[in-house]
Amino acid sequence: MADSIFRRTLTSASGRIVGVAAGLLASVLLAHGLAPAEFGLHAVLIGANAYALVFAEFGQFQIALTRASASVHERQPVSALQAIAAAYFRARMTAAVPMFLVSVAALSLFVPAEWDVALLVSFVVLVAPFQFDWLLVATGRDRHFAMAMALRPIINCVILVFATLFGVLSLEVAVTSFTISFLLTFGLVWAWTFLDGARVRFWSVGSLGAAQAELRDGAGLMLAALVQQAQLNMDLLWAGAAFGPVQAGYYAVASQAATASVIPAMALLWTVQSSIAGRKGPDLAIELGSSIRVAVFYAVPTMLALALAGPMLTVVVFGASYAPAAAVVEAFAPYVGVRYVGIVLLAVIVVGGGRLRVFALSLVSLAGTTSGLAVFHSIDSLPYARAIGEAAGLVGSFCLLPKQMRWLVLGNAGLVPPALAMVATGSFIVLCL
């Protein structure tokens, strides 16, 4: 069982990692093809649209995945999957239509001269109810799910490559590529679900009252996802609002460099979740200690590389016009280090803590980031706010562990030497800035 979970985890993680890599390549193409102001505006629009997608999703992905997985395990007929898919589509469409209108209005007010761009970005919200990749997970088709995770950024990247080759890359083309990549991915996943016979009968999706009941069930999950989304990109939106699109472009480039640095952490999260599943007491502490040592093994050299070589590589990869982003890249180093260690303790909470604890942890991290944004008032110090948020989450994760588990971690996991190494490395980086 554990080996099966481990293999499924790595398969799903591979799709996410490939998708992130393709997204980074797309960012490089956009950085070279757009002016910093356009690149910053593009990043802020996509980042703001992410909140609209969270509202439009309204927790229905997790609800549908849970119900469909139970249906498959209980060997219910295909009609049960059809009913679950219909309920999912009904709830998502009910939330998506008003959210699409809100998104168009809000983004048009933010960039009144680019209302057509706002319309294109918001259109993704309207087509999001056709996202049925949860069916692939529920039916055990993890390779197809990994492909779906990687497909959208790959399609986007391919379109941008051709736009660059033909010399037609612009803000409008970049946003159009973003939207088309969603449409094509949803269409392909929809075709894959036909193999399971679980396609939705759109002409019989049910009543509005039923949709409202399903949305009430997903309200808590939506709030948790909203908090997590805010923790991910609130600093970028703050940079755009406080310093303008040019500075936001520099910050977005630096953020992409930090994202590249933590790609191994994403695989580490799923790996640790698989390795600690079912473990308790001393066994869990020993496994946790090994995971922390692996995390520090990645974190310390990554922090140093990002601080020392990151500025030069940023200019080489993204171009000389983004040279001001070099100082911002250096400031992301402490965040990267804390992220690696925090991801290990987060895995423990995810596996054994339940949704409420994960939500509480997200609130703690968001509060830390918010307090950091209130303290740091320059573009090259904003990454410290994200580091504060991650550190708050790290402390919160440790406090959410059972009391006896904390002592096992401190006593058996070898936490003190890695922690000292992290503090020393972070202090060295801050002193060099």
pLDDT, tens digit, 9 for 90 and up, residues 193-248: 655 554 555 444 444 445 666 677 777 777 777 887 887 788 888 888 888 889 99
Residue 84 to residue 88: CA distance in whole angstroms: 6
Band the pLDDT of 161: cuts 50, 70, 90.
very high
Q: Which two tokens stand for residue 98?
A: 């008003």
Residue 203 pLDDT: 42
- Left, alpha or beta for 75 (phi > 0: left; psi -120 to 50: alpha)? left
Residue 251 pLDDT: 92
Q: Is the dihedral of CA 284, 287, 293, 298 positive or negative?
A: negative
DSSP string, 188-224: HHHHHHHTTT----GGG---HHHHHHHHHHHHHHHHH
Residue 342 pLDDT: 75
In the predicted structure, residue 1 carries a pLDDT above the cut 50: no
Segment 371-410, tens digit of pLDDT: 888 888 788 888 888 888 888 887 877 777 666 666 655 5
Closest to 106 in 3D by CA, of 47, 59, 60: 47
Q: What average pLDDT does the segment 266-289 reach?
A: 65
Residue 260 to residue 253: CA distance in whole angstroms: 11
Band the pLDDT of 165: cuts 50, 70, 90.
very high
Are 136 and 194 in contact by the 8 Å Cβ rule? The answer is no
Q: Which residue has the tokens 């202090």?
A: 427
> Taking the domains of the chain in order of start, what are their residue ranges?
2-229, 244-432
**H or E segment at 114?**
none
DSSP string, 304-319: HHHHHTHHHHHHHHH-
In the predicted structure, residue 87 carries a pLDDT above the cut 50: yes
Q: What average pLDDT does the segment 282-286 reach?
A: 68
Helices (H) and strands (E) in the chain, counts: 19, 0
Share of residues in the chain with pLDDT > 70 (%):
73
Q: What average pLDDT does the segment 2-11 reach?
A: 50
In the predicted structure, residue 411 carries a pLDDT above the cut 60: no
Residue 205 pLDDT: 46
Residue 431 pLDDT: 58
In the predicted structure, residue 69 carries a pLDDT above the cut 80: no
Average pLDDT of the residues of the chain: 77
Neighbours of 199 (CB within 10 A): 18
In the predicted structure, residue 108 carries a pLDDT above the cut 60: yes
- Give the rounded distance of the alpha carbon of 303 from its chain centre: 21
Residue 163 pLDDT: 93
Are 60 and 92 in contact by the 8 Å Cβ rule? The answer is yes
Band the pLDDT of 420: cuts 50, 70, 90.
low
- Give the rounded distance of the alpha carbon of 388 from its chain centre: 18
Would you state the torsion angle of the CA atoms of residues 288, 290, 294, 297, taken in this order, to the nearest 10 degrees?
120
DSSP string, 322-373: GGGGHHHHHHTHHHHHHHHHHHHHHHHHHHHTHHHHHHHHHHHHHHHHHHHH
Residue 157 pLDDT: 92
169: burial class by Cβ within 10 Å (0-12, 13-18, 19+)?
buried
Contacts of 69 (CB under 8 A, 6+ apart): 137, 138
Residue 261 pLDDT: 80
In the predicted structure, residue 18 carries a pLDDT above the cut 60: yes
In the predicted structure, residue 159 carries a pLDDT above the cut 90: yes
In the predicted structure, residue 170 carries a pLDDT above the cut 70: yes
Segment 322-360, tens digit of pLDDT: 888 888 888 888 888 888 777 776 666 655 555 566 677
Residue 276 pLDDT: 63
Rank 36-50, 80-94, 222-236 by mean pLDDT and report only the highest: 36-50
Greatest pairwise CA separation for the chain in angstroms: 64
In the predicted structure, residue 299 carries a pLDDT above the cut 80: no
Prediction pTM value: 0.81
Are 121 and 100 in contact by the 8 Å Cβ rule? The answer is no
Residue 226 pLDDT: 82
- Left, alpha or beta for 69 (phi > 0: left; psi -120 to 50: alpha)? alpha
Residue 336 pLDDT: 84
Band the pLDDT of 307: cuts 50, 70, 90.
confident
Q: What average pLDDT does the segment 131-137 reach?
A: 77
